[in-house]
Chain A
Amino acid sequence: MSAATAVSRREFLKTGAAATGSLVIALHFSTLAPSEAALAAPASEFVPNAFVKIAADGAVTVIIGKSEMGQGVYTSLPMILAEELDADWSRVRCEFAPVDPAYNHTVFGIQMTGGSTSVWSSFEQFRKAGAVARSMLVQAAADRWGVPPVACRTENGFVIHDASGRRTSYGELAAKAAEDKPPAQVALKDPKDFKLIGKSVHRLDTPAKCNGAATYSIDVSRPGMLVAVVARPPVFGGKAKNFDAAAAKSIRGVKDVVEIPRGIAVLADGYWAARRGRDALKIDWDEGPLAGYSTEKQRAEYAALAKTAGAVARKEGDVAAALAGAVKTIEAEYEMPYLAHATMEPMNCVAEVRADSCEVWAGSQLQTLDRVFAAQAAGLKPEQVQLHTMFLGGGFGRRAVPDCHMVLEAVQVSRAARAPVKLIWTREDDMRGGYYRPSFFHRFAGGLDEAGNIIAWKQTVVGQSIMAGTPFEPMMVKEGVDGTSVEGAADAPYLIPNLYVDLHSPKLPVPVLWWRSVGHSHTAFAVESFLDELAYAGGKDPFELRRALLAKAPRHLHVLELAAEKAGWGSPLPSGRGRGIAVHESFESFVAYVAEVSVTPQGELTIHRMVCAVDCGPVVNPDTIEAQIEGAIIFGLTAALRGEITLANGRVVQSNFHDYPMLRIYECPQQIEVHIVPSTEKQGGVGEPGVPCAAPAVANAIFAATGKRIRRLPIRANDLRSS
């Protein structure tokens, strides 16, 4: 960086930007170089690094490389930066970054949003970005006043020199600060001095989401744009043999029909004509290897596989000997179906391919890869593709697809049609389009000693690998074990002397993907339910048993005890009610739930209360954490009570919200309480960790209320009926 000191600001910034091309970015100042977009800023604007701009009028714009899908990064990341900047929060706004190495994930090395990592992985980066800007503003003021910088302080968007009573706003200092170079080092605040971080702050995106102004990719319009709807094979792995587009082309508004690798696209002057045109296509499909396949067949195959030895994911002690010597052994099988993300905004993408450039508007969670694939499809270099990240109408993992098909299809159609294209998936296309949470089968054997203690735990997991066949496979699949298939099982924290977990990863053409909480979405249900079974079999209280088994896992223990205390675990309940408890770590956060339920003789379930304790380390915006947990409980319960994608004759049976229902307002738990543990431990995530415990807490409460053990999701009314 020292070579840059003699050159102009803009050249310096460019030099800095070039230095950030490395794949993985460490937390040092060369990472804080501005993006190309920042370089285009007017000279009166102060752009100390890639993450913040300060205008002459004092407006502070924080630039985030993360995607806003409801989880709150559009507010929490600016809060972190504004804290160290001592900005006037009322003048802070946020915008989405272009694709640029400056915005690469500090751990994963590409620009992406996922794994509930945004806040903790950006925390130091955004603090430093704010502190650098503050330091430069202080220097500018000190120079102007002829006083030492240490004699100045900052507050609410002003630099203040108490000795002389002078104060100048950041806006007034912006142009002068822009002439200087960033300092080599800056001091960060002592967390006890935080004014914004840790306080509930109003979200910056809420107003635009209350008057229709927030723009999602489905809302983007371009001059001359056509709308495309694609006919894809009715069976995964199939392809079109031939098609007849005559009837489609005769529909008013239909402009073109083009074939792309994943299907046949109908282009029209609007969605309605494109949809009708698509319905009028006559296509002869080759259904491929999955023709005739069904969920029933898969269940039988998985059950058989689970009785054979898989790749070993964890081995402690000698589980076979312990089971052989157990006073009591319990066996159980748990099943979880395929699940669709069902984001409210169906998949869509706008692409405009030109001779020497391409623009893409997408609700992307995986910008670096989406841009690479867009460039390939457009016949261009990635630098020639401008990808605009829009608000995401729900993500849950669905918009981070390693094969980048959502963007790819739109670019291919735009290039073939030589027109800007908005490619929209109908709700049915979205529901039947795959990329599901894989279906999973867990087979357990547990052994107890004469005192009811668990001495053996054997768990065989069967389900498709999410990572297989993706660029992430070499990193994530080790010795036949996809870590995401067994996370939450292979690393279960319970003190059990003989423990064995193995895995089968059958290959099928059904596309699978991470789905909010990934492997934890099924392992937590299986592990927390079977542990409950063993507790009752051994005559132990499920809470007390967990306490004993978590003696060496203090953060688990703390949330478990807090949830139990707040829920009044052990206190009398009205007749017919039961309580269930579950605790789980995921994405480095710790969550425990106590559910309180009742069930009518006809099998109608009411969830009266969900009490949650969460430890996600130091908190940025507490209200966002509460909102994420509330939403995650409902997301988890939607899966537990309703969610199921099934196959019949090779085809996905479900198509829309009538047969893949979401929990509605009247089906929500009557009361949700969120207790956040004050914590100085390592920060974890919060977007996903609220999901895993919802299903097992409720299922365990159902057992407490009715004696019926739920071993297959979704929970069916038939499973709950008394007669």
Chain B
Amino acid sequence: MLNLVVNGNRSSIDVDPNMPLLWVLREHLGLTGTKYGCGMAQCGACTVHLDGEAVRSCVTPVSRATGKNVTTIEGLSADLSHPLQRAWIEIEVPQCGYCQSGQLMAAAVLLRENPHPSDAEIDDGMAGNICRCGTYPRIRRAIHRAAALMAEGKSR
């Protein structure tokens, strides 16, 4: 049995320890917001946080997640109140939406480490996430907007 803590909830699961975390999240825990895109850490659609670090859950054996806090898009905020979610909605980032969970989870780490990123720093931090619909210009704008929302929140 493997013990996992996902979005603050504990669970014990009987699976092959080599199974990628992605499939445990999606198929065993019903957390389908994290997406399968490539299975080889190329597209970033499966990005989740392990103790706050962005990882590609499609190539992360579930055994690596035991003893760590796993955060998925469902745990970013339940009510869309995270500054990134607010900015994403304000700027109308998503089109098909399939990659956006991964984009948001990657952006959350970027902003935590660098609260005021430049365009170049955004490009660098988001380089691992593909959007086939081409929402990149809006992702840039929305990350700047989220940075501003976070700064406003702190100055209040």
Contacts and interface: CB of A to CB of B under 8 A. Distances in A.
Contact of A627 (B20, B74, B99, B135): B135
A596 B130 CA distance: 24
Q: Counting chain A CB atoms within 10 Å of each CB, which of B76, B88, B134 scores highest?
A: B134
B2 interface: no
B129 A665 contact: yes
Nearest to A690: B134
Contacts of A395: 96
A657 B130 contact: yes
Interface stretch (A122-130, A170-178, A203-211, A696-704): A203-211
A322 B20 CA distance: 66
Q: Counting chain B CB atoms within 10 Å of each CB, which of A209, A344, A394, A664 scores highest?
A: A344
Contact of B92 (A202, A272, A344, A345): A202
A635 B127 CA distance: 17
Contact of B126 (A206, A392, A665): A665
A271 interface: yes
B14 to A, nearest CB: 11
B36 A271 contact: yes
Interface string B63-97: 00000000011101110100001001100111111
A208 B138 CA distance: 17
B132 A211 contact: no
A664 B89 contact: no
A209 B103 CA distance: 11
Contacts of A252: 16
Contacts of B99: 344
B30 interface: yes
B38 interface: yes
Given A632-B134, A656-B42, A210 B96 contact: no
Given A206-B89, A658-B40, A665-B129, A344 B32 contact: no
B144 interface: no
A182 to B, nearest CB: 35
A189 to B, nearest CB: 26
A273 to B, nearest CB: 8
Interface in A50-104: 69-72
B82 to A, nearest CB: 9
Nearest to B134: A634
B136 A272 contact: no
A209 B134 contact: no
A634 B93 CA distance: 14
Interface stretch (A213-221, A309-317, A541-549): A213-221
B57 interface: no
Majority-rule SS of A interface residues:
loop
Contacts of B151: none
A343 B132 contact: yes
Contact of A393 (B16, B74, B97, B136): B97
Given A214-B97, A344-B35, A272 B132 contact: no
B8 interface: no
B27 interface: yes
Given A391-B96, A391-B97, A627-B138, A427 B38 contact: yes
A25 interface: no
B94 A344 contact: no
Contacts of B80: 207, 210-211
A347 to B, nearest CB: 12
Given A271-B27, A664-B130, A212 B89 contact: no
A345 B99 CA distance: 8
B97 A209 contact: yes
Contacts of B78: 211
Nearest to A657: B42
A272 B19 CA distance: 7
Q: Counting chain B CB atoms within 10 Å of each CB, which of A212, A221, A631, A657 scores highest?
A: A212
A668 B98 contact: no
A206 B94 contact: yes
B6 interface: no
A631 B32 contact: no
A228 interface: no
Given A272-B23, A393-B35, A665-B136, A344 B130 contact: yes
Interface of A: 69-72, 202-203, 205-216, 218-219, 221, 227, 252-253, 270-273, 342-346, 391-396, 424, 426-427, 623, 627-628, 630-635, 638, 656-658, 662-666, 668, 672
**Shortest 5 CB-CB contacts between residues of A and residues of B:** A212-B33, A634-B134, A70-B95, A209-B97, A393-B98
9 contacts: A203-B94, A207-B89, A209-B100, A210-B94, A343-B132, A345-B35, A635-B134, A664-B127, A668-B134
